[in-house]
């Protein structure tokens, strides 16, 4: 009986040891499982934090580690998204660099490549595009005004054209362009007026220096012919008509001479009267040549 009791005691002790071992093993597995879940959740959490911070390289590393704990399609989608946003960030950062270098048109083209499915990167890029437009416009308006101050209106208009290529309805550029066009027109008219004035001055000086002597010589020649009227051919109606025209021109010339005597030699009216007298003399000479021809025939 005593021996039997001893055997039962030994078996009970073994059973207790086995139970303790099972309990310890279960506890260890539970702890191990718990720790893996905790590690997995930590990796996902930290990966999401890096996504929010736009540190996509770090996020990708953590998401890929999490797949060693558990294959999750959602995490694989996150990795794909992180890779895409990493490329978008490179494009965006390049646009910012171009913008800082004042290469606004190039920056705009860079920002335009960012699509709507790029989340906040898209809205940020749209804001940067508007900012580039404003700064590009301000830059070219300043350059246009600076060129206009130097009277370099062709260059100024080129800067305004740059703006209108980007924004065809930009009122500031349109108004400046109209203003410069008006100034250019006025400048050309002023230059033409100066040239015309200088031309008139030279013409007056030439008339004043040449006409008195020429007019005097031509007048003497005409007077000599008039003194020979007595030798005119008889019964020639054409000759007589020329003679009457010549006399009428002589009377007009006489009136001009009287007017010249009352005018200042420096006045425009005096110069115009000299021209008028010269024209009368030329017309007399033409008639005289015709009359000489008739004489020769007779």
pLDDT digits (tens, 9 = 90+) for 163-182: 999 999 999 999 999 999 99
Q: Which residue has the higher pLDDT, 2 or 261?
A: 261
pLDDT digits (tens, 9 = 90+) for 29-38: 444 445 577 8
The pTM (predicted TM-score) of the whole model is 0.55
- CA end-to-end span of the chain, whole Å? 193
- Model pLDDT, residue 24: 45
What is the three-state SS of the chain?
CHHHHHHHHHHHHHHHHHHHHHHHHHHHHHHHHHHHHHHHHHHHHHHHHHHHCCCHHHHHHHHHHHCCCCCCHHHHHHHHHHHHHHHHHHHHHHHHHHHHCCCHHHHHHHHHCCCHHHCHHHHHHHHHHHHHHHHHHHHHHHHHHHHHHCCCHHHHHHHHHHHHHHCCCCHHHHHHHHHHHHHHHHHHHHHHHHHHHHHHHHHHHHHHHHHHHHHHHHHHHHHHHHCCHHHCCCCCHHHHHHHHHHHHHHHHHHHHHHHHCCCCCCCHHHHHHHHHHHHHHHHHHHHHHHHHHHHHHC
pLDDT digits (tens, 9 = 90+) for 211-233: 554 544 455 455 554 555 445 55
- Model pLDDT, residue 280: 87
Could you state, in order of their start, the residue ranges of all structural domains in the chain? 214-297
- Model pLDDT, residue 35: 57
pLDDT digits (tens, 9 = 90+) for 103-156: 999 999 999 999 999 889 999 999 999 999 999 999 999 999 999 999 999 999
Say which range, 191-200, 212-221, 240-249, has the weakest mean pLDDT: 212-221
Average pLDDT over the chain reads 82
Say which range, 23-37, 81-95, 201-215, has the weakest mean pLDDT: 23-37
């Amino acid at each position: 009986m005593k021996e039997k009791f001893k055997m039962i005691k030994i078996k009970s002790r073994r059973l207790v040891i086995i139970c303790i071992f099972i309990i310890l093993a279960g506890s260890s597995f539970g702890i191990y499982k718990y720790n893996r879940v905790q590690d997995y959740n930590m990796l996902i959490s930290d990966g999401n934090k890096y996504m929010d911070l736009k540190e996509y390289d770090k996020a990708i590393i953590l998401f890929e580690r999490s797949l060693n704990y558990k294959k999750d399609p959602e995490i694989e989608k996150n990795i794909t998204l992180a890779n895409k946003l990493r490329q978008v960030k490179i494009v965006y950062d390049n646009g910012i660099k171009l913008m800082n270098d004042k290469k606004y048109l190039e920056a705009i083209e860079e920002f335009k490549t960012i699509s709507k499915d790029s989340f906040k990167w898209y809205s940020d890029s749209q804001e940067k595009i508007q900012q580039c437009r404003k700064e590009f416009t301000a830059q070219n308006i300043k350059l246009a005004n600076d060129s206009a101050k130097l009277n370099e209106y062709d260059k100024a208009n080129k800067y305004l054209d740059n703006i209108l290529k980007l924004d065809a309805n930009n009122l500031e550029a349109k108004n400046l362009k109209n203003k410069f066009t008006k100034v250019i027109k006025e400048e050309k008219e002023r230059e033409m007026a100066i040239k015309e004035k200088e031309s008139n001055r030279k013409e007056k000086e030439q008339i004043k220096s040449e006409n008195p002597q020429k007019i005097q010589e031509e007048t003497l020649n005409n007077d000599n012919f008039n003194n020979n009227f007595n030798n005119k051919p008889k019964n020639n109606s054409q000759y007589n008509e020329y003679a009457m025209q010549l006399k009428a021109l002589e009377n007009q010339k006489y009136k001009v001479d009287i007017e010249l005597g009352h005018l200042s030699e420096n006045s425009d009216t005096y110069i115009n009267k000299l021209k008028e007298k010269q024209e009368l003399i030329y017309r007399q000479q033409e008639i005289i040549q015709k009359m000489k021809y008739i004489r020769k025939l007779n």
